[in-house]
Amino acid sequence: MQELAKANLPNERVYFPKAEGLKLFEQMGEFLKCELIQEKADAVFSAYRTGKFLDFCRGPHVPSMGRIKAFKLLSVAGAHWKGDERSHPMQRIYGTAFFSPKDLEAYLHQIEEAKKRDHRRLGKDLDLFSIQEDAGPGLVFWHPKGGVIRREIEDWLRAELTARGYDLVFTPHAMRLHLWETSGHTNFYRENMFGVMDVENDQYQLKPMNCPGHILIYRSRARSYRELPMRLAELGTVYRYERSGVTHGLLRVRGFTQDDAHIFCMPGQLEAEVQACVEFALLVLETFGFDSYQVELSARDPQHAEHYAGTVEEWNLAESALMNTLKRMNVPFKYMPGEAVFYGPKIDIKLVDAIGRPWQLTTVQFDFNLPRRFGLEYVGPDGQAHTPVMVHRALLGSIERFFGVLIEHYAGAFPVWLSPVQAVVLPISDKHLTYAQSVADELRRAKVRVQLDDRNEKLNARIRDAQLQKVPFMLVVGDREAENRSVAVRRRDTGDVGSRPLAEFIVWARQLIDTRATKW
Ligand SMILES: [Zn+2]
């Protein structure tokens, strides 16, 4: 590669009529490339020639190899043709290139950091979750320690939802296929859905989304404008088909739980609802310790009004509700015309983690399609039937994915309130065991998650283990501590912080937990 870069060969774009190009690649013995050309190439397709090397590619490429000033091969991994486990095995070579050695250096540093934070490794080391061959790819088992974190996340979320006027609902995991035909999912979403189940000569579908369930609740009786806005929320588990070759830890899975909600309201209520969603989303970021984020507003392509469901007035109203809200709240955003899906504009919020990586999190999505397909109505102040406006919104997105991001952001060292074990009590020797036990009991009564490590191991070895498990506090107790009911406190980050009365430590720990402190 260095020789090629030095030779500064041009990357020449060449074109072939499909049949002629196919023959050429066949002669070169590139049978997989031929398959791609058959599938993807237009009547005339592009390829790139670099010296003797010819490749089928849409491009673009750098004009010549001399432009590449810094590059590195990153890894080699086994893969399968098109990510399908049953197809042709291949070797995939990963590399990267930059215009300056400094940029390459910064990138490699980020990769190194990311490796240390890999949630799949930490999930195993800290015993948080697993994905098991016996159950199948992309299906997540939350172990007791991961379960504690999930419960903390969900408890916080449920309390906030209730305080913000959401109603919590539950809907079935499998429903008649007919429902998904009405919603249109069997048309435009089929490839993401699990196969159909036959039950008593009827067909059922595992749910890929929660929306139709909430719609059925809305439609279960006549609605008056007085009931609006109606905010139906569910921690709803959905199943989506991903090829087994592309599932990835907690980030890309086949079953996951969304913190999903659907808001049904009148047009005049829209702006207030959108603002409440954005405020809620920003509170999520703050609560879980993320300082920076990016916001995108996806709008319609004004040249192609015919591509979209809903009327021009509806789109104008929805887009201005989104834009006005962001402007009023002084939230910087990127405006992306033409990026909206056919059924409505949306706001996406990405969090930026500790090492600068953006992660898609929150979506606030308008829908002009489903209320019509399901014939949703409310009786307005005028006594007439009207179609409500519907907004889909998820803040964390998927709880599994959010958990993966949390693990990587904190490199497994969670804030005290989220830590599965918040303190470990370490008696110096056996004769301090009774006191250690009473310390653990008292912490437990104060609802601090505590473990007593009375294993017959050297104190240093037990401290190291607690450190590796990223327990926030290690409480060492010996003669002196037993005498004056105190604990010698070690923090996992700064080490020894000295002795203090047990009662005082409990106040400190409770305060960190109750305020959900992320920095301490
Ligand atoms: Zn939805």
- Looking at the DSSP assignment, which residues form a beta bridge with residue 293? 351
For residue 308, the model assigns a pLDDT of: 87
Distance, CA 302 to ligand 1 centroid (Å)?
Answer: 25
The one catalytic residue among 240, 252, 409, 449: 240
Which amino acid would we find at residue 507?
Answer: V
The one catalytic residue among 119, 145, 214, 258: 258
pLDDT per residue over 173-232, tens digit each?
A: 999 999 999 999 988 888 899 989 999 999 999 999 999 999 999 999 999 999 999 999
- Determine whether 260 is an active site residue: yes
Phi–psi pair at 260, nearest 5 degrees: -95, 150
- Determine whether 469 is an active site residue: no
- The full 3-state SS of 261-285, as one line of letters, equals EEEEECHHHHHHHHHHHHHHHHHHH
Which amino acid would we find at residue 116?
Answer: K
Give dist(CA 22, CA 36) in Å, integer. 10
Kindly indicate whether the domain formed by 143-171+210-410 is annotated with CATH number 3.30.465.10. Answer: no
- Determine whether 69 is an active site residue: no
Give dist(CA 474, CA 445) in Å, integer. 18
Distance, CA 199 to ligand 1 centroid (Å)?
Answer: 26
- Determine whether 392 is an active site residue: yes
- The ranges assigned to domains in the chain are 2-116, 143-171+210-410, 172-206, 416-514
Instruction: Check: CB of residue 395 under 8 Å from CB of residue 281.
Output: yes
Distance, CA 153 to ligand 1 centroid (Å)?
Answer: 21
Distance, CA 84 to ligand 1 centroid (Å)?
Answer: 29
The one catalytic residue among 262, 409, 449, 462: 262
Distance, CA 37 to ligand 1 centroid (Å)?
Answer: 37
The one catalytic residue among 185, 231, 260, 453: 260
- Determine whether 52 is an active site residue: no
Question: Which CATH code of 3.30.390.30, 3.30.710.10, 3.30.980.10, 2.60.40.1930 fits the domain covering 2-116?
Answer: 3.30.980.10
Give dist(CA 4, CA 266) in Å, integer. 63
Give dist(CA 169, CA 94) in Å, integer. 46
For residue 135, the model assigns a pLDDT of: 95
Distance, CA 211 to ligand 1 centroid (Å)?
Answer: 4
Show the beta-strand stretches assigned E in 35-179: 44-50, 53-56, 70-80, 89-98, 129-131, 140-142, 167-168, 174-176
For residue 414, the model assigns a pLDDT of: 98
| Local confidence pLDDT in tens for the 520 residues of the chain | 888 888 999 999 999 999 999 999 999 999 999 999 999 888 999 999 998 899 999 889 989 988 888 999 989 999 999 888 888 899 999 999 998 999 999 999 988 888 999 999 999 999 999 999 999 999 999 999 999 999 999 999 999 999 999 999 999 999 999 999 999 998 888 889 998 999 999 999 999 999 999 999 999 999 999 999 999 999 999 999 988 888 899 999 999 999 999 999 999 999 999 999 999 999 999 999 999 999 999 999 988 878 888 888 889 989 999 999 999 999 999 999 999 998 999 999 999 998 888 999 999 999 999 999 999 999 999 999 999 999 999 999 999 999 999 999 999 999 999 999 999 999 999 999 999 999 999 999 999 999 999 999 999 999 999 999 999 999 999 999 999 999 999 999 999 999 999 999 999 999 999 999 999 8
Distance, CA 367 to ligand 1 centroid (Å)?
Answer: 9
Distance, CA 140 to ligand 1 centroid (Å)?
Answer: 22
- In CATH terms, the fold of domain 416-514 is Rossmann fold (3.40.50)
- Determine whether 211 is an active site residue: yes
- Looking at the DSSP assignment, which residues form a beta bridge with residue 495? 491
pLDDT per residue over 329-385, tens digit each?
A: 999 999 999 999 989 999 999 999 988 889 999 999 999 999 999 999 999 999 999
- Determine whether 262 is an active site residue: yes
Of 462, 494, 457, 455, whose CA–CA distance to 476 is shortest? 462
